[in-house]
Amino acid sequence: MRAFLASSIGVACAAVLALPSAVPAGAAPALRTVPASAPAGSAGPGGVPGSTQSLPLRVLPSPSDRVGHRSTVPQQGLPEREVSPFSLLGVVWNDADAELRGTVQVRTRATGTGRWSPWQDLETHNAEHSADPGTAERDSGAVRGSTAPLWVGDSDAVSVRVRPEPPDPQDRTGSATPLPRGLHLELVDPGKDPQAAARDAAAAWQSGQAGRTGQAGSTGQAAQAVRPVLPALGKAASQALGEAQAGLAPGARPYIGPRPGIVTRKGWGADEKLRERTFVYTSTVKAAFIHHSATGNNYTCAQAPAVLRGIYRYHVKSSGWRDIGYNFAVDKCGNIYEGRAGGVTKAVLGAHTLGFNSNTMGIAVLGTFTSSNPPAAAVSAVAKLTAWKLGLFGANPKGKVTLVSGGSNKYKKGRKVSLNVISGHRDGYTTECPGARLYNKLGSARSSSAHLQGR
């Protein structure tokens, strides 16, 4: 077993060394696409690829209101039904530009227990997490409207109801807004982590060692030991990388925080066959937009890679995006994950903040923070990540930046907007994201990030 652990760690290290880390010389064009190497599947030995069930919704009897009137627009959904196992779900529709004005609620049954959850709400306004208008990704013809996905854990039955927004009292016709066409329930099985066998073996070995020595071992640390991670870099190495990235003269002092450890896409089990084969870059990274994933807080840190695999599959297979929308993700324990492919040091074009994806990066904290406080470890991770990545491009986390809107419901296309270098999603789009509780922590994240840069 000891030999197996050493071998597994060696494989992980080799995977890290093989990842692209070179910094492109000079400034990149405003938008460019480069070919990627042929993607490899994530379903290796011990790994099981995920799957998606897409179920069309149908008209349901509409409940009467308090005075006995029925809605002029019928609700849609599905009665309770057994399905193949899944762990994450969402609702999609045909037209990405159509708004779902109403409520979406789901109930799920935990696998093997017979216990049904209470009704849970899905965040319906997910269009703001999308590629900018006029980009190849947005205009591909594959993009669909979608709710935010919700993590529900291992489940084998589901029920859903979609209720239209009540009629406007000022509208004399008394008609409700129609629901979008083509409503489907998407049930996502994230698949088994290809690294699971190695982690389980490492945990078993660690547990055995603890039992023999009488010391308390950490199976979580043992599990993490074999997960491919881009190692944290010291200040000097980060500054050297930053000088090349930002085009600084030799000896000029860059303000760059140390690079934190980052779980690679291989580390969280991304199936590279799902995404598009090419990468798309912009010229720089001027700002970071902070999000919450709105997938709920009912996950453990050990489940975070599965949550990411679920979001990734939902973004690509259900919503029609080229890859996962976020450039990075952070879990409740403060672990940082590589998001959209293309290189963690590079200016990868994401699909996270409609109208402001160009020359920015999106960081999603896994969870919902409308009424729940984000863990301190997650806020600290945001500070560490932004201190490093923004520093590579010469950006001050406590500063302001002027961005040109690509078009959103808050700023018209072409408008120049002054924003914080570390902004919340709601600063560029009218939305609750990243949740009031996380948004209120951005001030401390900016201060900590700037301190880590040495400002």
pLDDT tens string 39-82: 333 443 345 579 999 999 999 986 654 445 555 678 999 999 99
Q: Return the pLDDT at 429.
A: 81
Q: Return the pLDDT at 275.
A: 96
Q: Return the pLDDT at 221.
A: 45
Q: Return the pLDDT at 72.
A: 64
Q: Return the pLDDT at 128.
A: 64
CA dihedral 384, 203, 311, 31 (to 10 degrees): 50
What is d(CA 223, CA 232) in angstroms, rounded to the nearest whole number? Answer: 18
Strands annotated E in 15-110? 32-34, 51-56, 58-59, 76-93, 102-110
pTM for this entry:
0.82
Architecture, CATH, for domain 51-189 = Sandwich (2.60)
What is d(CA 12, CA 230) in angstroms, rounded to the nearest whole number? Answer: 10
Write the pLDDT tens digit of every residue in 297-321: 999 999 999 999 999 999 999 999 9
Give residue limits of the domains in the chain. 36-43+228-452, 51-189
What is d(CA 74, CA 221) in angstroms, rounded to the nearest whole number? Answer: 52
What is d(CA 81, CA 32) in angstroms, rounded to the nearest whole number? Answer: 46
Q: Return the pLDDT at 392.
A: 96
Q: Return the pLDDT at 4.
A: 37
Instruction: From the options 3.50.30.30, 3.20.20.190, 3.40.80.10, 3.30.390.50, give the CATH code of 36-43+228-452.
Output: 3.40.80.10
Residue of 177, 220, 224 whose CA lies nearest to 73? 177
Q: Return the pLDDT at 30.
A: 47
φ, ψ of residue 443 to 5 degrees: the values are -60, -45
Angle CA(261)–CA(267)–CA(273) in degrees, nearest 5? Answer: 135
Q: Return the pLDDT at 126.
A: 61
Q: pLDDT 10s digit of each residue in the chain, 455 long?
A: 434 334 333 434 434 333 433 333 333 334 544 444 333 334 433 455 799 999 999 999 866 544 455 556 789 999 999 999 999 999 999 999 898 999 999 999 999 999 999 999 999 876 666 788 888 998 888 999 999 999 999 999 999 999 998 876 666 655 678 999 999 999 999 998 877 656 666 666 666 666 655 544 443 444 444 578 888 877 677 666 666 565 555 555 689 999 999 999 999 999 999 999 999 999 999 999 999 999 999 999 999 999 999 999 999 999 999 999 999 999 999 999 999 999 999 999 999 998 899 999 999 999 999 999 999 999 999 999 999 999 999 999 999 999 998 887 888 888 999 999 999 999 988 888 999 999 999 999 999 999 999 99
